[in-house]
Structure 1
Amino acid sequence: MGDKTKAHEFHLPLAKITQSALNCPVRYLTFHNDHARLGLEYSGATPFSDTFHCDLNLPSSKPLMVQSPWCLTLLSPAASLDQLQRLIHFCAEQNWCIDTIDTLSYRRECTVIRFQFSAELEFSPARFACLQLAEEIGVDLVLQEGPSQRVPALAGFDMDSTLIDAEVIDELAKITGIGEQVVAITEAAMRGELDFRDSFKKRMALLKGFSEQRLAEIAQQLPLKEGAQELLHCLRELGCKTVILSGGFTYFANFLQRERLAVDWVHANQLEFAEGALTGEVIEPIVDGIRKRLLLAETAKEMGLSLQQVVAIGDGANDIPMLNLGALGIAIHPKPKVRLEAPQSITRFGLDAALYLFGLNDQQIAKLGQP
């Protein structure tokens, strides 16, 4: 049998973390006042010789204050020493001066480590470099301005493939037997290859005659995106207002608000019926990407908020305008084009992982309770 697994906290300079040739699971990392504490699980040889170590001492329930101009958050489904080493090397190569590090989640299935750093950087190329490294080491890396690490006052959400794990218009088409045709139009629009307004009108025309009774049945069956209920519940508990801004339909968004999700307001497209069935026509104005951004900005203005108190979350090309509006624009499980253009993105976790980008840790999230 193999060596017995050991778990220890190592006290060492941050630079020394990159010097071990061994790889092993990471439980946590903190760095403050030039002193690093690294929690590891390992078997066999000690990863760091001539270094003080003790039993694991999990981080405190209160995160460090954000005082640096930038934050880089690592979210890993299986955090490893190799991932940390690559990230520390990366920061050094970029001339990013690491000020502090703390761990927001030390669950084995989701370890979240936040780096605060000082640097003069151009956001877009820096974000792209982070995306490349994230792909190489199998994590999410989220770059954001330090002041944006706070709970927003207003959060705008796309609905289809963001709050729910489906594109409603595609589900309607599958039932009517024209699924492949409509799905192809939807995917092209979400990738940004087709104008959303034109694609929306084409898809609606194909759905002429769909019964209102079947719509009610479908609404009951819509699968929620992982973490959607948890995120919206926590935002409500924290006093943040939320709004659905959807190129989908008010019929389904209102159902979600009424029955399943803690949402304050809804803006989406209205369906036109005649004799209990869809007419295939659209009711203007269509909620496309530009209108989503406009509605989110108008909502913030009505609330007396600055855009630095606003965040947006979506997944498709028609979400890009609103994702670039406020303090954060988080693409959740995004299409490739959106991942390249959105300011922030989460690809390996559910919606509730956004809470870490608002500066919360697991202990604080747990105190907010379950939905």
Structure 2
Amino acid sequence: MFAVSLVAAPGALDRSHVEAVRDAFGGGDAAWLSGGEAAEFAIPARPPQFAHVAGEMRMLGVDVNLLPAKGRRKRLLLADMDSTMIGQECIDELADLAGAGGEVAAVTAAAMRGELDFEAALEARLALLEGLEEGAVDRVIAERLTLTPGGAALVATMRAQGARCVLVSGGFTAFTGWVAGRLGFDAHRANVLEVAGGRLLGRARRPYLGREAKVAALEEECAALGIGPEAALAVGDGANDLGMIGRAGLGVALHAKPVVAERADARVDHGDLSALLYLQGYRREEFAA
């Protein structure tokens, strides 16, 4: 059995959307998880026309995903940080303060599309930050970072249901510590900026946390919990997230680059992070404060 999930921005999902998809797939009665935002229904097998229908609905502002009915609620969340749990790329914000914003942002975008080697791209961008005052990190946190809507509810609800939540980023611990603390993550992993004399040295401590390290983090966290990767949910937006997204039982591409959206189990293009709860079958009234 499978669950067909429909999620849209609040107020953007109406009964006609649900009925159109249900009629196309021959599903049963729909259950509303949140009025005007999320609904689902059951079907016995994957419809051959699923990709076509999902694409049509995506153009109408509705994310349609197909999920195995068994084991939907996950016991581990691994989340990327930049452009996932927050709305920014932290290295781009630091570079902007250093006067190299445009150059670094272009490299970041290419790396996240999978066009550049992650480690080489990281080193090239970090080199342009050499000499920047360490206080720039605090300025970015105070003045520029915004939390992605739905993130606090996602972490609080999964933790309330006994899941472990870990922030895993190719960014820097100087930022993941703040984000993890604000959102209530159990732990965070990221790269460590090297600093001396109150200024950035233009490099990070090796080994770098990139694509392979994110997969290793998933496997280590699963082993510590005594669960298989099928009980994990991984979410991200860039090419360096593809490994953990592919390894997890539920891999979600959130407002992601095409290379990621095309290969993930589920994609969220219109909803916020609370969509990850709806994908697991949670109703709005089950969300933790």
| Structure-1-length-normalised TM-score | 0.73
SS at match of 1:299: helix
Sequence identity (%)? 34
Give per-residue Cα distances to partners, 1:103-147, cap 9 Å, x unaligned: 1111x3x2x1111110266xxx76633541322433110111111
Matching residue of 1:257? 180
What is the aligned partner in structure 1 of residue 30 from structure 2?
A: 101
In 1, are the aligned partners of 2:18 and 2:30 still within 8 Å (CA)?
A: no
Q: Which residue of 2 aligns with 1:172?
A: 94
Letter in 2 for 1:357: L
What code does the residue aligned with 1:249 have?
Answer: F
Alignment of 1:184-199 (within 5 A): 184-199=106-121
For 1:317, give the aligned amino acid.
Answer: A
Unaligned stretches of 5+ residues in structure 1:
1-68, 93-97
Structure 1 equivalent of residue 132 of structure 2: 210
Q: CA deviation at 1:149?
A: 2.3
Determine the C-alpha separation between the residues in 1 that align with 2:236 and 2:50: 18
d(CA) in 2 for partners of 1:198 and 1:141?
A: 36
Q: CA contact under 8 A between 2:21 and 2:53: conserved in structure 1?
A: no
Alignment of 1:139-158 (within 5 A): 139-150=62-73, 152-158=74-80
Aligned residues of 1:134 and 1:140 also touching (Cα < 8 A):
yes
Offset at residue 101 of structure 1 (A)? 2.7
Partner in structure 1 of residue 239 of structure 2: 317
Give yes or no for contact 1:127–1:343 (8 Å, CA) kept in 2: no
Pick closer, same or farther for the CA change 1:309–1:190 going to 2, 3 Å: same
What amino acid maps onto 1:101 in structure 2?
A
CA contact (8 A) 1:161 1:315 kept: yes
* Correspondence for 2:198: 276
- Residue 79 of structure 1 and its aligned partner are, at CA, apart by 2.7
Q: Which has the larger radius of gyration?
A: 1
- Secondary structure at the counterpart of residue 230 of structure 2: helix
SS of the equivalent of 1:305 reads coil
Choose from 30, 41, 45 the match for 1:119.
45
Q: Specify the SS of the correspondent of 1:177.
A: coil
Q: TM-score, normalised by structure 2?
A: 0.93
Q: Kindly state the Cα deviation for residue 333 of structure 1 after the two structures are TM-superposed.
A: 1.3
Q: Count residues in correspondence.
A: 286
Paired residue secondary structure (1:113)? strand
Evaluate the alpha carbon distance shift between residue 300 and residue 130 of structure 1 in structure 2; reply closer, same or farther with a 3 A threshold: farther
What secondary structure does 2:7 align onto? strand
2:20 aligned partner: 86
Q: Is 2:1 the counterpart of 1:72? A: no
Q: Does structure 2 retain, via aligned residues, the 8 Å contact 1:71–1:145?
A: yes
Distance 1:266 1:79, change over 3 A: closer
Shift of 1:338: 1.4
Matched with 1:244 is 167
| Distance in 2 separating the partners of 1:99 and 1:148 | 20
| Whole-angstrom CA distance in 2 between matches of 1:289 and 1:351 | 22
CA distance in 2, matches of 1:229, 1:79: 22
Q: Residue 349 of structure 1: which of 259, 267, 271 is its match?
A: 271
**1 CA distance for matches of 2:243 and 2:65?**
19
Aligned residue for 2:180, secondary structure, equals helix
Distance 1:138 1:254 in 2: 34
Distance 2:33 2:246 in 1: 26
Alignment RMSD, CA only? Answer: 1.8
Shift of 1:312: 0.5
CA gap of 1:208–1:130, structure 2 versus 1, over 3 A, is farther
Counterpart for residue 153 of structure 2: 230
Q: What amino acid does structure 2 have at the position aligned with 1:170?
A: D
Matches of 2:125 and 2:170 in 1, distance apart? 12
**Contact 1:100/1:117 (8 A) holds in 2:** no
In 1: Cα distance, 2:31 partner to 2:157 partner: 22
Secondary structure of 2:70's partner? Answer: helix
With over 3 angstroms needed to count, the CA separation of the structure-2 counterparts of 1:305 and 1:214, relative to structure 1, is: same
Contact 1:330/1:346 (CA < 8 Å) preserved in 2? yes
Residue 332 (structure 1) shift: 1.3
Q: Contact 1:128–1:340 (CA<8 Å) still a contact in 2?
A: no
Instruction: Name the CA distance, whole Å, in 2 between partners of 1:362 and 1:171.
Output: 34
Residue 52 of structure 2 corresponds to: 129
The Cα offsets for residues 226-261 of structure 1, whole Å up to 9 and x where unpaired, read as 111121121222221111110000111112223x11
Instruction: Classify 1:342/1:120 alpha carbon distance in 2 versus 1 (closer, same or farther; 3 Å).
Output: closer
Q: Which runs of 4+ in 1 moved over 4 A?
A: none
